[in-house]
Structure 1
């Protein structure tokens, strides 16, 4: 990350409490969804997936297909790598 990519909006800084949640092993989808202030239903609608799918991925019951994770990442404005465990 550089100041240029930050200024261009290509990178973002995460508040420490969200970073700590990620470092403590909380599901990345849940953390980024919360960071964006979205409900599961709002994220599901924006990504074009079922809300139950979002819930199952967040709780670890399902991993989600690459296509589903890509749609969720796009809806959250993060990379697919950001959602990967």
Structure 2
């Protein structure tokens, strides 16, 4: 607060109001707005789901198996995904090819390893 601020006291002598120059008031408002905007952006980032590049969406819409698309997006090989999930590489390959389905448990393990929702794989 600046030296030109004035304190108005209540009947008991306790500070009740502060009177300050308009420039100081506007500076405080601006600082509060910036802090609020920064906090709002941080909350937004923390609560929003991850977004994916256009090529991921195009591949999914084009009919590629989601496990393959998200595995490629994460830069993982089938062997790495198999190791991360405790599955055999051949099983991962079959799921990606669509020749074998995965149980809910298996798909959940894959979703966790790929850091996606289970719904993204079905």
Structure 1 gap ranges (5+): none
Structure 2 partner of 1:62: 100
Poorly superposed stretches of 4+, deviation over 6 Å: none
Structure 2 gap ranges (5+): 1-40
Matching of residue 19 in structure 1 with residue 57 in structure 2: yes
What is the RMSD of the two structures over their aligned residues, measured on CA atoms?
Answer: 1.8
Task: Determine which structure has greater relative contact order: mean sequence separation of CA pairs < 8 Å that are 6+ residues apart, divided by chain length.
Answer: 1
Structure 2 partner of 1:31: 69
Q: TM-score, normalised by structure 2?
A: 0.63
Q: TM-score, normalised by structure 1?
A: 0.88
Could you list the per-position Cα deviations for residues 22-63 of structure 1 after superposition, in whole angstroms to 9, with x for gaps in the alignment?
A: 011110000000000000000010111111110000001101
| Greater gyration radius | 2
Q: Say which structure is richer in strand.
A: 2
* Alpha-carbon distance between aligned partners in 2 of 1:59 and 1:31, rounded to the nearest angstrom: 12
* Alpha-carbon distance between aligned partners in 1 of 2:43 and 2:63, rounded to the nearest angstrom: 27
